[in-house]
Amino acid sequence: MNISTDTLMIVLLVLAGSVGAGSLGVLGLSAKKIKNIKQKLDNYELL
């Protein structure tokens, strides 16, 4: 039983890590888009 529970925990940790990395990647892309939009708005305000 210990071996099966250990493998289950490892699988869960790997899945959680992959999901976390994916969400972080999406957040990073959206943050870059937001920064680009803010820069464009600032440029329009200067004009």
Kindly report, residue by residue over 9-43, the tens digit of the pLDDT: 888 888 888 777 777 778 788 888 889 988 888 88
pLDDT the model gives residue 19: 79
pLDDT the model gives residue 47: 61
The pair of structure tokens assigned to 46 is: 């200067």
pTM equals 0.44
- Is the pLDDT at 45 greater than 80, yes or no? no
Reference 21, options 31, 33, 13, 10; nearest CA is: 13
Position 27: which residue type?
L
**From CA 20, how far away is CA 13, in angstroms rounded?**
10
